[in-house]
């Protein structure tokens, strides 16, 4: 970012309710037909099934005016044809800026290769905030998450002492709520998604993860992806 861009961002930050909008990372899928990475609602090869990656990007674009910057988390996926490693955070950020026309200066991919889980997302956010203390003006951060992921993710963010120790308030924003506010027809889409067999698989996995977290049995071995 150039000095001029940084100055413009600093000036604009004063009018935002949030210092940052954090977009939780999403698993992606290579499309041989389109020759690009895509973020569908459901990815069958992913054990959690529900993803809502594209929906996260669209919801983030609706919230662009609420935060000084958008921090995109996420680990990596491997290209099935070339074997090359691709960053989920970078690809999701690209979707936000190229398709949904969010400001490239304000959308910042922060995901690292080893952060393909919610635990990794938390660590990436904490690391970024530690490296950029000057951005914390209001000490408020919005975290964008689908409904199915929110409870488990919130437990994991709350378990990290950094936020409370530094007086940072975390506000949770739900992808489905934002989209339904944008267009009531999304209510039908949401209902259809949560009525699928894949959603039932996801519910069982999420509830198991939440129970493990509450009982102190949740480990890195179990959480290998978003």
Write the pLDDT tens digit of every residue in 178-208.
999 999 999 999 999 999 999 999 999 999 9
The string of pLDDT tens digits covering residues 93-132 is: 999 999 999 999 999 999 999 998 999 999 999 999 999 9
- Domain membership of residue 6 (yes or no) is no
pLDDT band at 80 (very low <50, low <70, confident <90, very high): very high
> For residue 5, is pLDDT > 70?
no
pLDDT at residue 156 is higher than 70:
yes
Any domain includes 110: yes
Domain containing residue 46: 17-214
Look at residue 9 and tell me whether its pLDDT is greater than 50. no
> What is the structure's pLDDT at 4?
42
Is 12 among the domain residues?
Answer: no
Residue 29 in domain: yes
For residue 19, is pLDDT > 90?
yes
Residue 221 counted as domain residue: no
pLDDT reported for residue 218: 82
pLDDT at 15: 80
In this structure, is residue 1 part of a structural domain? no
Ranges of H-type helices in 132-196: 147-159, 162-165, 175-182, 186-193
Beta carbons of 112 and 120 less than 8 angstroms apart: yes
Domains of the chain: total: 1
Residue the block writes with tokens 């959308």: 107
Mean pLDDT over the full length of the chain: 92
Q: What percent of the chain clears pLDDT 90, i.e. is strictly above it?
A: 88
Q: For residue 13, what pLDDT is reported?
A: 53
Query: What is the predicted pLDDT for the residue at 217?
Result: 86
% of the chain exceeding 70 in pLDDT: 90
Q: Is the pLDDT of residue 136 over 70?
A: yes
CATH number reported for the structural domain that contains residue 165 in this entry: 3.40.50.620
10 falls within a domain: no
* pLDDT at residue 226 in the model: 57
Residue 225 counted as domain residue: no
Average pLDDT on 63-73 reads 97
Q: For residues 225 and 13, give the distance between their C-alpha atoms in angstroms, rounded to a whole number.
A: 33
Task: Give the pLDDT of residue 14.
Answer: 60
C-alpha distances out from residue 10 to 14, 16, 19, 62, 200, Å: 7, 11, 11, 21, 44
């Amino acid at each position: 970012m150039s000095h001029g861009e940084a100055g413009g961002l600093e000036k604009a930050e004063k009018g935002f309710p949030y210092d940052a909008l954090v977009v939780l990372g999403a698993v992606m899928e290579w499309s041989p037909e389109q020759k690009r990475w895509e973020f569908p609602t459901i990815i069958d090869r992913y054990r959690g099934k529900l993803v809502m990656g594209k929906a996260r990007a669209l919801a983030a674009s609706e919230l662009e005016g609420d935060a000084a910057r958008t921090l995109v988390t996420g680990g990596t996926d491997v290209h099935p044809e070339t074997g090359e490693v691709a960053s989920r955070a970078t690809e999701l950020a690209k979707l936000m800026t190229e398709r949904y026309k969010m400001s490239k200066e304000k959308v910042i991919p922060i995901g690292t290769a080893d952060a393909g889980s919610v635990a990794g997302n938390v660590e990436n956010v904490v690391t970024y905030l530690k490296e950029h203390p000057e951005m914390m003006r209001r000490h408020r951060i919005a975290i964008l998450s689908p409904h199915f992921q929110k409870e488990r993710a919130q437990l994991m963010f709350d378990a990290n002492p950094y936020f409370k120790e530094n007086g940072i308030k975390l506000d949770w924003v739900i992808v489905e709520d934002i989209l339904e506010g944008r267009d009531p027809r999304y209510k039908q889409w949401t209902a259809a998604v949560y009525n699928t067999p894949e959603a039932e698989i996801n519910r069982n996995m999420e509830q198991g993860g939440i129970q493990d977290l509450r009982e102190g049995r949740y480990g890195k071995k179990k959480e290998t992806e978003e």
